[in-house]
Structure 1
């Protein structure tokens, strides 16, 4: 049976003396000078146009049969920013006996590429390889990343089983982190939480990954609960973890917890000057309704980025201070020497939209490319269409849609449909609804739901109940349902979530009693003795 060639330092044996003495590597003799020269070329390689001639040289010198030598070329192709993954795969096919390093390099590279399923292919090849090549603690984290990126849940669960059998799930911190990340990114938060709870003392990285998973699934309250648990265990959160907690506060409106985190930041010099944290604080105060505190934090930031300006502009837009948002375009260039990007300009357009400044909005979108070097994208046109619709200029909005340099997507037709509902324009609503339903971008069912519900409401408002009934009947036949409303409120630092038709809140009886009292106080009740309304 042919044994696999594996390169180690002990594989080398010297013959002769001087620079031209021979080396025996994996049973093949090479000139020491040739070996040193070829390895030097491989190490200094910076682009594929250099690598290919080096590969040719390796072949002429017989080094392409040497795992160590060829792994240097494969490593560059697969892991370097200047590399070429397809060429790395071709190199792999020429290797008779790939070792663990070669498999791991390809698995790692493909796990983060646009083809993560190929990482799973190389993992399967590795499992079926003979002679002492097995997945190790370097392999599993990247395979799990590939499963998450490919949304391949069954494979990820099988790998979880495999690492449990190998004993790595309970002993290797990197694999534990990868498992939590896999389940979180696949929206399997219960499994992610179970994995997290099995770890006796989870570190800050694991906490942050689970918090991020909760945020991405819209569970801001759960993210904050994990943050509080971490503090109670005495673990010191890093800047990333604190930023995630502030984002959770912003999403849920938990300003009390946000203020507590702000005080925590002030007490730690290593956090107080962090630009990302400062920006997260500005966003938290802004989204929680305290624009004055947001401005105060922003003004006190030692260093601001374009992102920081974007957040404060978004805050001004949210709170109706459109003129201040417009002024920021000049200030960020004069004070901080920063040029507005597409996100900043979208924030200013949004501010104009909320304040009804149509002329200013039109002027900005027309001058964006000339004045700021930013070509308007779909989101800018979507905002402008919404602005025109809010101003009652439906015909102008439709003309703008027809002039767009790209295909209008759901946000554009949705804005026009909403405007039609406000103004009761049935004819144009039917056009917008038809376009919205015909779109094919992966959210077809959701788009149909929006279109049907909006169109039905427009028909009802116009007194065309028969048309509305037809739409509702069509929705039922297609299995569409209106998305249930949801609201969140913070009371004594605790987040309370309410969903339409939900009866799971522990204080629902008291809530209903208070609502009943309010109902009797607000709604006039009939006077039984007089038979009239008070």
Structure 2
């Protein structure tokens, strides 16, 4: 019996190739797909976008996205996430605006993950907060831990460590080691010793075997000791020689 692979089969194999980084195998599968099937099926198109985006071939991923005639929210979200993951924050946000201009398609929780990630990687704090509020108020999407994590990472990356930690404690879901690690790393970059020690302790509580947390804690302790010595140098007056 001769069975030809259908769209679902192709998409499953392409997703498997993307997950293990088998770009050459994925390209071979791509060559076997009928062009009309690729253009008319958003499932295959999305799988191809993910494959090339994970391999850093963002221009090819965008060409494939443009060639798909029927684009569902998953295809839009995948391309937005692809731009965000490859450091093209402005392109991700431009595509999101294009998506929302099409009245038939509404962004979902996955779409906003890509948007918030783009804002975080691009340091676009005002725009990120605006999109987070819009997600909740305009689109009535309940934020998950991953959404809060993106906003916390955005605040921490831009030096607003106190705001990041305040949101971290206020969010309705329990923070995991990933969120605390992003705050800890931001504290290292911005030289925030006190809050960095708090973040490092939280990471160690959740991942006791994580060496990065112990290295960061040691760095914060050294930074604190140097700060104390600097203050001591400026506050202790040298003795005057006897005349």
Question: Alpha carbons of 1:270 and 1:396: their partners in 2 closer, same or farther (altered >3 Å)?
Answer: closer
Partner Cα distance (2:180, 2:37) in 1: 47
Alignment of 1:150-169 (within 5 A): none
Question: Residue 455 of structure 1: CA displacement?
Answer: 2.7
Aligned residues: 224
What does residue 321 of structure 1 align with? 88
Alpha-carbon offset, residue 307 of structure 1: 0.7
Match of 1:260 among 1, 25, 28: 28
Aligned to 1:348: 115
Within the candidate set 418, 428, 440, 2:195 is matched to: 428
Task: Mark the runs of 5 or more structure 1 residues left unpaired by the alignment.
Answer: 1-202, 204-233, 440-446, 466-534
Q: Please say which of residues 256-265 and 244-253 is displaced more in the overlay.
A: 244-253
Inter-CA distance 386–276: structure 2 relative to 1 (3 Å threshold): same
In structure 2, distance between residues paired with 1:270 and 1:377: 35
Q: Write the mapping of 1:141-290 to structure 2, written as runs, cut at 5 A.
A: 236-266=4-34, 273-290=40-57
Deviation at 1:335, TM superposition (A): 3.3
| Correspondent of 2:209 among 443, 449, 456 | 449
TM-score (norm 2): 0.80
Q: How does 1:129-140 map to 2 (within 5 A)?
A: none
Larger helix share, 1 or 2: 2
Aligned pairs for 1:392-411 within 5 A = 392-411=159-178
TM-score, normalised to structure 1, is 0.39
Q: From the two aligned structures, give the one with the greater strand fraction.
A: 1
Give, in whole Å, the separation in 2 of the partners of 1:405 and 1:301: 39
Q: CA separation of 1:364/1:270 partners in 2, compared to 1, >3 Å: closer, same or farther?
A: closer
Q: Distance in 2 between matches of 1:414 and 1:329?
A: 28
Report the counterpart of residue 124 of structure 2 in structure 1. 357
> 2:18–2:51: 8 Å Cα contact kept in structure 1?
yes
Match of 1:380 in 2: 147
Q: How does 1:13-162 map to 2 (within 5 A)?
A: none
Aligned CA RMSD, in angstroms, stands at 2.7
Structure whose alpha-carbon radius of gyration is higher: 1
Alpha-carbon distance in 2 for matches of 1:315, 1:434: 33
Residue 67 (structure 2) pairs with residue 300 (structure 1): yes
Contact 1:304 1:336 in 2 (8 A): no
Report runs of 4+ in structure 1 exceeding 4 Å deviation: 269-272
Structure 2 unaligned regions, length at least 5: 224-243
State the shift of 1:398 in Å.
Answer: 1.0
Q: Which whole-Å deviations, capped at 9, do the CAs of 1:323-376 have from their partners, x for residues lacking one? A: 221222332233362111111011000011111111111111122222222122
